[in-house]
Amino acid sequence: MSNELCTFALKTTLSEIKKVCPDLSHSLIFDKDANILATDEDTSQENATQAAHALNALIGKAEVIGGIDSTTFETAEGRVSLICTPTLRIATVASSRSEERFVTALHRVLVPTVLELAEKISQESSEEISQESLPNNFTVTEETITTEETEQSNESAVQEQPAEETIPIEDELSAEPSYPEPMATQFMIENVGGLLVSTDTVQIDNAAILQWNETYEDKKITEVEIETLSGQTTRCKFKPIKDTKHNGKGVIRIPKKVQLALQACEGELVTVKPVLEL
Amino acid sequence: MVKKKKQTHNDAETEMMEGITITATDQEPTFATIRLNLIEISKKPNVTGYILRNSTSAVIDLKDPETLQSFAILSAEATETAEELSRLFKLGKVENILIEGKNQKIVCLSVGENKINVFMEKDASHAAIAKQLLR
């Protein structure tokens, strides 16, 4: 499953839960190796990592009670709750005023559901991609077989068709590797500006760029196509976000000029596709 | 309007609030008092044991002594984790911890300098036990 899609889905879920529960101050989702899968916007990566390590150390020592289902730490100024699901660990920090049962129930239901949905969407889109890229190869193979069969029947030849005849076609196909349709990634717009910032270059999460480079390793990618939810599109140059605190947050930093061209503004969602140069 | 009246007598402070009298001694419940409470609590069928300790003494009572080490390690780790989380998110003093496992649960409380860990079956009422200890 695409990590970005997963992170985006979980992050959105956390911020939506926070809107419903204003007493919630921090929330984070991590896995059994303390990898942070998502945090809300008020939780720093450093704090999240330290909290995940501390909680995982506790979980690791809970075999005597059959593993941890949930944990609550009540303090003078709030409450930390940990919920363990088979695949994820969800930690929330809330004020003592918050309704713990409500907050826990929301997380227990929403987070796994959203994750499952994101997985399903990801699977379906990858199936679509493979279906789009496969038919050409299949058609050619079938045609080859049909042609061979026809030739054989016409000639009534006992001799088998030499295998070499089909090989060149396959070689021809393998010589030009088929790339999947450029994958669209969803990002949230953030403003970027300043004297040293180029007005025609957007800044994108480095993880997304690395993934594109892996997927289309032979292709040069110098531009991206950005599309808003209303269908406005533009092409522009891109570079990775240098500031690490913005990485992994599913944001694209777009200069005002490009935002105007897209008729979009900060906080809106856009899909971004790499433009593959031939 | 809330009326408050404070008077001190015999090291005890009495507060009058809307006709309700709350008497709190200026001393926290002693180690011995808590221990007596824990003895009562441990008689309940779904309570599997407890650890009570302060800087000078410790009492351990577990129905299955073989699990002592694991429970002690888990309780200590829970306290450390709580302190770490409290530091990270600036939450102040840790008051109590509830760990719900698949089979059992643990309530960790601090009463003054006394640290209490009560181990119980999953279906036990931890709230009632905590209330009994804090009264």
Q: What is the pTM of this model?
A: 0.56
Of A62, A75, A78, the CB nearest to B101: A62
Report the C-alpha dihedral over residues A240, A266, A90, A96, rounded to 10 degrees: 140
ipTM metric: 0.77
For chain A, the distance separating the N- and C-terminal CA atoms, rounded to the nearest angstrom, is 28
Kindly list the distances between the CA atom of residue A54 and the CA atoms of A76, A83, B76, B80, B86, in Å, as whole numbers in the listed order: 20, 14, 12, 8, 11
A78–chain B Cβ distance below 8 A for any pair: yes
Which of A16-25, A28-37, A167-176, A178-187 has the weakest average pLDDT?
A: A167-176
What is the pLDDT, as a whole number, of residue B126? 92
The answer on pLDDT for A68 being more than 50 is: yes
What is the pLDDT, as a whole number, of residue A178? 56
A144-200: per-residue pLDDT in tens?
A: 444 444 445 555 444 444 444 444 444 444 444 555 667 778 888 888 887 777 888
Interface contacts A/B by beta carbons within 8 Å: 105
CA–CA separation, A97 and A240 (whole Å): 41
The answer on pLDDT for B86 being more than 90 is: yes
Beta strands A89-94 and A233-240, pairing class: unpaired
At A173, phi and psi to the nearest 5? -70, -45
B15-28: per-residue pLDDT in tens?
A: 333 333 333 344 55
- As a whole-number percent, the residues of chain A with pLDDT over 90 amount to 19
From B84's Cα to the closest Cα of chain A, the distance in A is 7
Is A73 within 8 Å of B82 when comparing Cβ atoms?
yes
The answer on pLDDT for A16 being more than 50 is: yes
Report the C-alpha dihedral over residues B61, B65, B68, B71, rounded to 10 degrees: -80
What is the pLDDT, as a whole number, of residue A278? 62
Is A62 within 8 Å of B82 when comparing Cβ atoms?
no
> Hey, what amino acid is at B1?
M
Chain A partners of B92 at a C-beta cutoff of 8 Å? 75-78
Identify the band that residue B80 occupies on the pLDDT scale cut at 50, 70 and 90: very high
What value does the mean pLDDT of chain A take?
A: 78
**Which of residues A4 and A188 earns the better pLDDT score?**
A188
A47 and B73 Cβ atoms separated by less than 8 Å: no
Is A71 within 8 Å of B97 when comparing Cβ atoms?
yes
At B2, phi and psi to the nearest 5? -80, 125
Domain boundaries, chain B: 29-134
The CATH architecture that domain B29-134 belongs to is 2-Layer Sandwich (3.30)
